[in-house]
Amino acid sequence: MKKNARDAIVDAAVYLFNHKGFKGTSVRDISEKSGSNSANIAYYFGNKEGLLEYCFTAYYEGYLKEMEKAVAYLEDGAIICLKKTLERIIYYQFENSQLTRMIVREMSLDSQMVREIMSTYAMKEKYFFQNIFEYGFANGEFRQESSGYYLLQLKGLLTMPFLNTHYMTEVLYLLPQEKYFADKYLQELYSWVDGRMNSQQQGKPILTVSS
């Protein structure tokens, strides 16, 4: 029961941060929405900042765990490993779409907390990617281009559908909540890897989305 109360607080907070913004949400709002009293919120998270920090940490710990699972594929080559990594990330973000959206938006602010997250988690994420890139540069699978620009584009492609759910449904008429969307979008990321990074551009694509 205790764990459920904590999860309910987090879910309510993420929902409210996405609708009213972090600063526009009060502890009282979170208390009302989650059905927990504010003493409970204070017990688990200290204050609203502590709750946000918990969200960041939980998100990135889970995210990096998914990336780690894909590292084993490096012996099958950099392209396969990169695609497996993208697969893990897309489905993780898909499963945690509200949280992902909140995190991506909050990461664009200039706050002390964001700087700390950058210097730990975003750096770790970068090193995972860079490892794969360098493996692929060394064995000739990838075109020798700037890792920074590759990662910048990958991050843009990875985060766009989760940040802009309203744009997707109301302007593009796509349904980001459907598993079908995640599958199809992952295939687009694979095409990006094949078209942009793969040094053997004419070759057949390695690994396609199976579902």
Binding site for its own copies (CB under 8 A): 18-24, 101, 104-105, 107-111, 114-115, 118-119, 122-123, 126, 148-149, 151-153, 155-157, 159-161, 163-168, 170-174, 184-185, 188, 191-192, 195-196, 201-202
Between residues 19 and 179, which has the closer beta carbon with respect to its own copies? 19
Report the nearest approach of its own copies to the CB of residue 152 (Å).
6
In degrees and rounded to multiples of 5, residue 19 shows phi and psi of -95, -35
Would you give the DSSP letter of residue 74? G
Report the nearest approach of its own copies to the CB of residue 210 (Å).
19
In degrees and rounded to multiples of 5, residue 164 shows phi and psi of -115, 55
Distance CA 40, CA 135 (A): 48
Between residues 44 and 181, which has the closer beta carbon with respect to its own copies? 181
Distance CA 208, CA 65 (A): 23
Distance CA 135, CA 107 (A): 29
Report the nearest approach of its own copies to the CB of residue 204 (Å).
13
Report the nearest approach of its own copies to the CB of residue 136 (Å).
17
Cβ partners under 8 Å of residue 39, min gap 6: none
Between residues 56 and 73, which has the closer beta carbon with respect to its own copies? 56
Distance CA 17, CA 98 (A): 10
Report the nearest approach of its own copies to the CB of residue 119 (Å).
7
Distance CA 115, CA 106 (A): 11
